Amino acid sequence: MGLADKMNKKSWLLETANKGLSLLHDEKPIIYIFYARALLYSFFIWKLLSRDYRLFTFAPDNVLNIYSVDTFTAFQNYTFMGRGWLVDLVTFHWVHWILPFPNYQIMEIIYFSTILLCAVNVIIGRGKNNVFSIAAFCLLSYLWGFNWRTGADVDAVFIPLQAALVITLFKGADNPVWRKECFSLKPDREAGFLYSMMLIVFISYYQLSGFNKIIDVSLYEWFAYDLFTQMVDHKYYALAGWHIAINPLPLKIASYFPAWLIDFSVVLVYFSHLTTFMMYFNRHLIAKFMYFYWAFHFVSTGLGIWFSGLLVFWLIFLPVWRFFETIDVFYDPSIPGDKALASAIRSLDFLNKIVLQERSGGFFIRYGDGNQVFQKHIAICRIAWLLPSMWFFLPLLYLPLVARGLSKLFDLLTALFDKR
């Protein structure tokens, strides 16, 4: 490699590192801080109300002594770090080196206190010096400690738990839900930092899984995974009276496609794991990855595996502020298509978030700050955020192919009306 190549490589790396650092605090509206905490702790309330941790009080001590190092075989083992003493240290189970496990009544207090603390975090916020989020994190870690010592929990829960840790260490503004600052649309570096950190949590989860796909399985195995047969096999298990519920829908849909294509989707999943870091540098990819993983996790329900938490928790990236913004919509009344569109918007704008203005030169929208202007299907998508009757269709509008189709349709209609 010549000196020029080395210099170029070095400057590319520096440029990427600089971009990464500048994106870390890429501003987001303050409302995101409230949204992130509300979604996170609501998620835990939902999960805790669906998991009765009091059950562990019936278990003898040895039943609660099965750590990851005991559970996993050599191929996947956590020989060094899955050890009891280390897991106990980080889950506050070290208290049981001295104290006995809680009885039913004490566990009930711990269990409902955790739920209450999650509710406090949603409504009041992290509290002075993050006292509420610290307490919630400690209790969540403690409760999940029982999972780690009984054969481990679903790996997907690592994402919300890491997100809880991020919020616990977060130093940005925080307001109770009754303060209007909580819903402020003012761009904020700290809110942007929180958003970036949530991205890093997701990327760590998927990216590290991607690296494992290189370490654990050969390239041959990437292409040898017989997913379609596995789905059919699970269907037969269900028919034979298995006690695990298999969602029949993925196989029904898969049956319309050639089996090799279904098998090839595994390769795409492995590859996607390796490319998740791109979401950080190109935030437009977040929605695409989200749809991809929603599809992937939907397919896994056909194998009796439900990643319900991940399906929901991807919503942490929902640009919730768009529901609250106001926009100016400019349209040319001499163009019949624009006029019809403006008329439809006027009739659907129940929240009075849109100001319609006549202006020659085509259809576009402009945000209040005047800096952001959008045309074509992006304008339509942004308008849909402000029209309650369109909220149901919002996820569809952002589907990659739909967005492209809409763009083409918009071009076609514009050309058609221009000719007239």
Residues 159-198 that bind another protein (CB under 8 A): 161-162, 164-166, 169, 193, 197
Note the maximum CA span of the chain: 84
- 91 near another protein (CB under 8 A): yes
> Least distance to another protein from the beta carbon of 131, Å?
19
CB of 16 to another protein, least distance (A): 15
When the beta carbons of 210 and 319 are compared against another protein, the nearer one is: 210
Region 141-160 residues binding another protein, contact defined as CB under 8 A? 141, 144-148, 150-155, 158
Label residue 76 exposed, middle or buried (CB < 10 Å: 0-12, 13-18, 19+).
exposed
Q: Kindly state the smallest distance separating residue 2's Cβ from another protein, in Å.
A: 31
Q: Which is nearer to another protein, 148 or 330 (CB)?
A: 148
Residue 315 engages another protein in binding (rule: CB under 8 A) = no
Taking CB under 8 A as the rule, does residue 86 contact another protein? yes
- Residue 50 interacts with another protein (CB under 8 A)? yes
Tell me which residues in 212-251 interact with another protein (CB under 8 A).
212-217, 221, 224-227, 229-230, 232-233, 236-237, 239-245
Q: Half-sphere exposure of residue 323, counting CA atoms within 13 Å on the CB side? A: 12
Reading the block at residue 59, the tokens are 């278990």
Contacting another protein (CB under 8 A), which of 81, 315, 340, 373? 81
Among 27, 38, 42, 70, binds another protein (CB under 8 A): 70
Stretch that binds another protein, among 49-57, 171-179, 327-335, 354-362 (CB under 8 A): 49-57
Instruction: Give the H or E element holding residue 418.
Output: helix 400-419
Measured from the CB atom, is 66 or 413 closer to another protein?
A: 66
- The residues near 398 (Cβ < 8 Å, ≥ 6 apart) are 287, 291, 381
Q: How many residues bind another protein (CB under 8 A)?
A: 98
Nearer Cβ to another protein (304/337): 304
- Quote the CA–CA distance of 24 and 211 in Å, as a whole number: 23
In the region spanning residues 274 to 303, those forming contacts with another protein, defined by CB under 8 A, are none
| Residue 80 contacts another protein per CB under 8 A | yes
User: Based on CB atoms, which residue is closest to another protein, 122 or 329?
Assistant: 122
CA atoms within 13 A on the CB side of 163: 30
Nearest to 418 by CA among 357, 332, 329: 332
CA distance 175 to 193: 17
Distance of alpha carbon 348 from alpha carbon 260, whole angstroms: 45
Residues 133 and 60: beta-carbon distance below 8 Å: no
Piece of 86-94, 181-189, 380-388, 389-397 that binds another protein (CB under 8 A): 86-94
Q: Which of 1, 2, 3, 62 is in the footprint of another protein by CB under 8 A?
A: 62
Please select the residue that binds another protein; options are 119, 124, 134, 204, rule is CB under 8 A.
204
Q: Give the residue, chosen from 306, 323, 324, 398, that forms a contact with another protein under the rule CB under 8 A.
A: 306
For residues 70 and 328, which CB has a smaller minimum distance to another protein in the complex?
70
210 near another protein, rule: CB under 8 A:
yes
* Nearest-approach distance from CB 219 to another protein, in angstroms: 11
- Which one of residues 32, 35, 132, 205 is an interface residue with another protein (CB under 8 A)? 205
CA dist 108 and 320 (Å) reads 35
Q: C-beta of 293: minimal distance to another protein in Å?
A: 12
Question: What minimum distance in Å lies between the beta carbon of 160 and another protein?
Answer: 9
Question: Strand locations in 24-104, DSSP E?
Answer: 28-29
Site mask, another protein, residues 374-413, x = CB under 8 A? ----------------------------------------
- Rounded to whole angstroms, the Cα distance separating 56 from 215 reads 36
Residues with Cβ within 8 Å of 65's Cβ and at least 6 positions away in sequence, in order, are 84, 149
With 0-12 / 13-18 / 19 or more C-beta atoms within 10 angstroms meaning exposed / middle / buried, residue 417 is middle
Placement of tokens 């039943």 in the chain: 63
Contacting residues for 329 by C-beta, under 8 A, at least 6 apart? 342, 345, 354, 355, 356, 357, 363, 364, 365, 379, 383
**Site membership for another protein, residue 208 (CB under 8 A):** yes
d(CA 405, CA 330): 23
| Cβ–Cβ under 8 Å, residues 381 and 403 | yes
Q: Which two tokens stand for residue 86?
A: 């280390």
